């Protein structure tokens, strides 16, 4: 069974719609992250959370919001989706105890905004 | 400004030969470096890492070299296998920061049988 799961795996939506991407983990990690991947741009950090009461903006947080409902769940919302938010979205987790901050990634959600 | 750079977007090698993937960084505060591998339709998976107090770390067919003075690291895969064909990301982190990983753009490795 996957340690980090993301739902949905694929989503097509229209401009202006509200979208929520969900991430769940069974690794027992405190820290969770949301990234987006665009062709030729690598992985860029959107938001991260070190525990349930801690939320931090990443490199490209504009247009996104997050909710840490529990230690195991971290959701990413697009309040009003726009076409340039079309991308591959990854959730990741870490313990914060591993030297070098190794992160474990989910399988990704492919989001298309028309 | 990109702090972690993978300047070559792709590399093609023959099975059994060496693959060398390069990465440069600009932030002197980075003290830990990681390589991730990504197959299509999957999330990135951790491959190997190196601390800034070392200049080499080896794990089976994979070796990472770090040249701090040049702010350069490289991943060597010997011998290369077709299953190594994937996108490889270099990433770096700074101790005492927010434990954020900064990723390069990635490099697509193709190993031909």
pLDDT digits (tens, 9 = 90+) for A82-107: 999 999 999 999 886 655 568 899 99
CB contact, 8 Å: A7 with chain B?
A: no
- Is residue A69 within 8 A of residue A16, CB to CB? The reply is no
Dihedral angle of Cα B38, B36, A4, B40, to the nearest 10 degrees: 0
Select the residue of B42, B43, B105 nearest A42 (Cβ to Cβ).
B105
pLDDT for position A95 = 83
- How far is the alpha carbon of A40 from chain B, nearest alpha carbon, in Å? 6
Give residue B99's pLDDT. Answer: 67
Which residues numbered 71-90 in B keep a CB inside 8 Å of some CB on A?
89
A98 or B10, which is more confident? B10
- The answer to whether residue A108 neighbours chain B at the CB level (below 8 Å) is yes
The residue behind tokens 């938010």 is: A85
C-alpha A63 chain-centroid distance: 13
Contact between chains at A103 and B103 (C-beta distance less than 8 A): no
Per-residue pLDDT at B50: 92
With an 8 Å Cβ cutoff, is A39 touching chain B? no
Surface of A (67-86) touching B: CB under 8 A: none
Confidence of residue B96 (pLDDT cuts 50, 70, 90): low
Contact state of B9 with A40 under an 8 Å Cβ cutoff: yes
Query: Residue B98's pLDDT is what?
Result: 56
What contacts A59, CB < 8 A, 6 or more positions away? Answer: A44, A45, A46
pLDDT given at position A84: 95
Per-residue pLDDT, A99: 59
pLDDT of residue B84: 97
- What is the model's pLDDT at position A71? 94
Q: Please report, in tens digits, the pLDDT of each residue of chain A (114 residues total).
A: 569 999 999 999 999 999 999 999 999 999 999 999 998 888 999 999 998 999 999 989 999 999 999 999 999 999 999 999 999 999 999 886 655 568 899 999 999 999
CB contact under 8 A, B41 and A108: yes
Compute the average pLDDT of residues B51-79.
Answer: 96
Say which of A31, A101, A105 has its CB closest to residue B44. A105
Q: CA-CA distance, A109 to A91, in Å (whole number)?
A: 9
């Amino acid at each position: 069974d996957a340690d980090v799961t993301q739902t949905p795996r694929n989503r097509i939506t229209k401009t202006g719609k509200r979208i929520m991407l969900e991430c769940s983990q069974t690794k027992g990690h405190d820290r969770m992250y949301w990234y987006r991947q665009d062709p030729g741009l690598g992985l860029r950090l959107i938001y991260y959370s070190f525990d349930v009461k801690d939320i931090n903006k990443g490199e490209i947080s504009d247009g996104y919001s997050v909710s840490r409902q529990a230690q195991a769940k971290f959701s990413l919302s697009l309040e009003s989706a726009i076409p340039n938010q079309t991308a591959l979205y990854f959730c990741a987790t870490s313990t914060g105890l591993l030297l070098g901050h190794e992160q474990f990634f989910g399988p990704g959600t492919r989001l298309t905004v028309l | 400004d990109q702090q972690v750079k993978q300047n070559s977007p792709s590399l093609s090698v023959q099975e059994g030969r060496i693959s060398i993937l390069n990465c440069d960084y600009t932030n002197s505060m980075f003290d830990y470096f990681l390589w991730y591998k990504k197959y299509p339709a999957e999330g990135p998976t951790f491959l190997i890492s190196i601390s800034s107090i070392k200049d080499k770390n080896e794990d089976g067919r994979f070796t990472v070299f770090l040249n701090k003075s040049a702010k350069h690291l490289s991943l060597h895969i010997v011998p290369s296998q077709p299953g190594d064909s994937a996108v490889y990301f270099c990433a770096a982190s700074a101790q005492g920061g927010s434990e954020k990983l900064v990723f390069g753009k990635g490099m697509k490795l193709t190993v031909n049988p």
